[in-house]
Structure 1
Amino acid sequence: MDTTGLTRFDAITQYKIHPTLLQTIAEDMKFEYMTPVQSETLPLLFSGRDVLAQAKTGTGKTVAFLLPVIQELVQNTNPRRPTRLLVISPTRELAQQIAAEAKQLLQRFPQYKVCTAIGGTNMRSESTAIMKGCDILVATPGRLHDHLTQEDGVVREMMQSLQALVLDECDRLLDMGFLNDLKKIIALLPDRTKTPRQGMLFSATIAPHVQKFASLILANGYQFVSTIPVGEAQTHERVPQHVTIVPEFSDLAAGAVGAIRQELTRVGKANFKAILFAPTAAQVDFYAGVLESFKDLPPISTLHSRMTQSKRTRVTDTYRNAANGILCATDVVARGIDFPAVSNVFQVGLPMDRESYIHRLGRTARAGADGHGTLVLASHEAFFPRNALKDLKLEEKPADLSARAEVAAFTRQMGPEMQTKVYQAWLGYYKNAKMKMSVNELVQQANTFAMQGLGATGVPALAKKTIGQMGLKGVPGLNVMAVEPARTPRNGPPRNASAQAPRGAPARRTGA
């Protein structure tokens, strides 16, 4: 390792760091040198300044925003401690990752507690843990707002002596539509003019909306720090990228298998650690099922927001520690989560936009390692790289569709319920995507995909309400689910008639 120009961690002794905390950093966490984001932000943060920092994920920023607050925490001898640090994260997985690092820093101080407040877990259990003592709370916006607005007001009361507020991955928090939730949360926290607190925003990109939001969170005169050197090549500028165009949507699965096999041969199975991104949770499950049917591929796992939190945590930890494997996921893992040694990123189907494509690609080639990106699209989606990615160097690679027969054999074994679920998710996603086709053509493509790509014997039936919610009411070609005959006398239908539908038929749109 070239340590030229790097600052040693023991340089922070000038800030009167607790010696046990220094021991934890040096002996337990094995940190000798600071990363650039740590060396540039820690002096400011130790001096109490508010900071807006531009830093990429995987650069040590979590330790940078945790360390100054933990230093204050361990110097405090107050036996009745309210929550001192609140960290807001865009995803559950990133929140858990931050909490784990906080626990590492506090491992020699077992009297201090780190709690999480994230969706998908038992809210009452979270409240109980927080009330027992919570020095650092790491939360996602929705669940945090739920806690702060409970009638008993206990969690809100715990926040009334807040020492510091951190928003991590701020650009993603805003891009995911959390602006209103964040404003409500800030309004529920103590007035910083009466109860001063330190503010920290960390963001990979500093767009105008991030700067505008910073003025709501940070004190006037906050310090801006960028740890991305001018001219440094971003992942999407330096990683080799290929695009493969298959004829029809029904060929995407076979095209994905072919692309994976080509890269598997190039990288070698022992070091092949890939993430396959798909637009929706249902498509993730579909592609995972397809890949699992090929015994020559590494272990397959799935990750999306429709899984229970305990399963998401288990999958995340297993994949993070694995030497190889393929993780099929939605954009829930596109940012923030640190998966080491990812050799390949595959994106199958149209990304939501250019930013989504770039953030997904950023899961590979981290910390100076090599990586590779592959985009697999149907011919109807070929406009996307031509328009949205025209400034990137994407090499077109012929599609390997040799797996068509095996994919078809797998889809014939799929049950009608799964076929309907994927069909419905496909329609819902592409209806909202900026496709270059009319809604009539869209439905026609969806129906062809269902029968040729999913093995359906006919057009899957959708509930009338679902079709209306998609904005597809009256479009020819859709199979509207028939309502079962009422079993009551002619004086009226049963109260729950609207809920009656054939077993296995979906009643809700499947999203990412």
Structure 2
Amino acid sequence: MSAIQLLNEALQKKWTFSHEMKIQQEMIPAMLDGKDIVAESPTGSGKTLAYVLPILNKVSGSKKQTQALIVAPSQELAMQIVNVIREWIVGTDITVQQLIGGANSARQIEKLKKKPTIVVGTPGRLNELARSGKLKLKEIETIVLDECDQLLSREYRVVVKSFIDGAAYGRQVVVVSATITEEIEIVAERLMFEPIHIKIKPEDMVKVGKIVHSYVKVDERDKTDLLRRLANISGVRALAFVNNIDQVLMKQNKLAYKDAPIVALHSDMKKEERQKTLEAFRKGDARILIATDIAARGLDITGLTHVIHVDVPRTIEQYTHRSGRTGRAGADGEVLTLLSYRDEKTYKKWLRELDLKAVQKIWHKAELIEGNAKTIATPTPSTKKGKKSNK
């Protein structure tokens, strides 16, 4: 029996996909059984529906209480989860409410009074509403932590633990992420009851595209200009990662001055500004979107041709997370690193540990081609115009 056949008839009728993803085959039955779960599965492998469908099967819209809580580390991811849920609850009495920072809290409090069936939110706003008694944690029977490697990091751990501790007795806890370190796994287990562990590898996914890992050697000061050039290559659609917000702002200012088809996303932006930026990128008005890892968490952007590491990631998990955003749904993709001298050692270490081979490239005649400075032929003095060859 397929996992979808375990769901109620209404959900089965709405299922229009040709096949189930591996994570869905394993997570749906386990969630329906009420198990606590630690699930590691690559970006783009179908994790959202793997937990959303069992939740929708389990909750009741006629029951006037909030029964499920989904926590996400970024506003964008929370909004995307809400959009997925809204598609699946059409024609039912199940309701969903997003509770995110940057939005009007008074309006959110009014919506909470109506007891939405499912709540999706970011840690800061959820904590604020729970502490003021507006969000009744004790009624919640299922808690999902999406991108748990972020939510169980030291920054959010105490707050997230308070959500779980305050939930109904016997509550179900499900944590999912593309990468789960040993430390995060230990922390997760302490918050759960005999969790089952699910690990999906990239090769378990259907239709994995071919991904080329490449790098171009470039001085730190020249990275912004190289981004500008890359953005002028027809067909490029790239998500470019930097390690801190200061670099995002600096590059955004320089590129805006040069009128490059590049936009930036960072945590200091207002909700409306973020939406405008994402819309410009999705419509193709901009070819490259620059962001930090936190700002880009959970962004569901299809058709990326490239992931660009403007800065070499600080951790191997970051490299995996970022790189997994291209080559999805059977499409090919490229992971390009702008490699400065100081980061060569770290970059080579990540490649070694991930057992990856990278191709060196060079900017030549308005395009990025395979090779290095030595392989690009240059005329010798004896063959230049006006000089005679010895031959």
The answer to whether TM tops 0.5 is yes
**Separation in structure 1 between the aligned mates of residue 27 and residue 205 of structure 2, nearest angstrom:** 19
1:299-324 alpha-carbon deviations (Å, 9 max, x no partner): 42221101012222343355346497
Match of 1:119 in 2: 101
1:150-165 equivalences under 5 Å are 150=132, 153-155=133-135, 158-165=136-143
Match of 1:85 in 2: 68
1:21-60 equivalences under 5 Å are 21-23=11-13, 25-26=14-15, 30-60=16-46
Match of 1:211 in 2: 185
1:26-425 equivalences under 5 Å are 26=15, 30-74=16-60, 77-78=62-63, 81-109=64-92, 111-150=93-132, 153-155=133-135, 158-175=136-153, 177-190=155-168, 192=169, 196-220=170-194, 222-228=195-201, 239-247=211-219, 249-261=220-232, 264=233, 269=234, 271-292=235-256, 299-320=261-282, 322=284, 325-391=287-353, 392-398=356-362
**Separation in structure 1 between the aligned mates of residue 230 and residue 331 of structure 2, nearest angstrom:** 21
**Separation in structure 2 between the aligned mates of residue 96 and residue 165 of structure 1, nearest angstrom:** 17
Structure 2 residue runs without a partner (length 5+): 368-391
**Separation in structure 1 between the aligned mates of residue 278 and residue 241 of structure 2, nearest angstrom:** 15
The structure whose residues are more often helix, as a share, is 1
Do 1:350 and 1:377's aligned partners in 2 also have CA atoms closer than 8 Å?
A: yes
**Separation in structure 2 between the aligned mates of residue 333 and residue 304 of structure 1, nearest angstrom:** 5
Shift in alpha-carbon separation, 1:96–1:401, aligned structure 2, 3 A: same
Match of 1:434 in 2: none
Structure 1 residue runs without a partner (length 5+): 1-5, 404-512
- What's the secondary structure of 2:308's corresponding residue? strand
Shift in alpha-carbon separation, 1:342–1:176, aligned structure 2, 3 A: farther
**Separation in structure 2 between the aligned mates of residue 387 and residue 338 of structure 1, nearest angstrom:** 29
Deviation at 1:115, TM superposition (A): 1.0
Match of 1:436 in 2: none
**Separation in structure 1 between the aligned mates of residue 95 and residue 205 of structure 2, nearest angstrom:** 39
**Separation in structure 2 between the aligned mates of residue 138 and residue 225 of structure 1, nearest angstrom:** 23
TM-score (norm 1): 0.64
Do 2:70 and 2:121's aligned partners in 1 also have CA atoms closer than 8 Å?
A: yes
Match of 1:491 in 2: none
AA partner of residue 65 (structure 2): P
Deviation at 1:102, TM superposition (A): 0.9
- What's the secondary structure of 1:210's corresponding residue? helix
Deviation at 1:344, TM superposition (A): 0.8
AA partner of residue 184 (structure 1): S
Match of 2:389 in 1: none
Shift in alpha-carbon separation, 1:90–1:373, aligned structure 2, 3 A: same
- What's the secondary structure of 2:66's corresponding residue? coil
1:357-415 alpha-carbon deviations (Å, 9 max, x no partner): 33222221122211112211333433332444445322333356989xxxxxxxxxxxx
**Separation in structure 2 between the aligned mates of residue 351 and residue 230 of structure 1, nearest angstrom:** 23
- Structure with max Cα Rg: 1
Aligned-pair identity in percent equals 28
The structure whose residues are more often strand, as a share, is 2
**Separation in structure 2 between the aligned mates of residue 103 and residue 318 of structure 1, nearest angstrom:** 24
- What's the secondary structure of 1:200's corresponding residue? strand
RMSD of Structure 2 on Structure 1 (CA): 3.1
Do 1:88 and 1:138's aligned partners in 2 also have CA atoms closer than 8 Å?
A: yes
Deviation at 1:178, TM superposition (A): 1.6
Do 1:302 and 1:329's aligned partners in 2 also have CA atoms closer than 8 Å?
A: yes
Q: Number of aligned residue pairs: give it.
A: 364
1:48-71 alpha-carbon deviations (Å, 9 max, x no partner): 222222222222221221222212
TM-score (norm 2): 0.82
AA partner of residue 315 (structure 1): T
AA partner of residue 300 (structure 2): D
**Separation in structure 2 between the aligned mates of residue 65 and residue 360 of structure 1, nearest angstrom:** 22
Q: Which structure ranks higher in relative contact order (CA pairs < 8 Å, sequence separation ≥ 6)?
A: 2
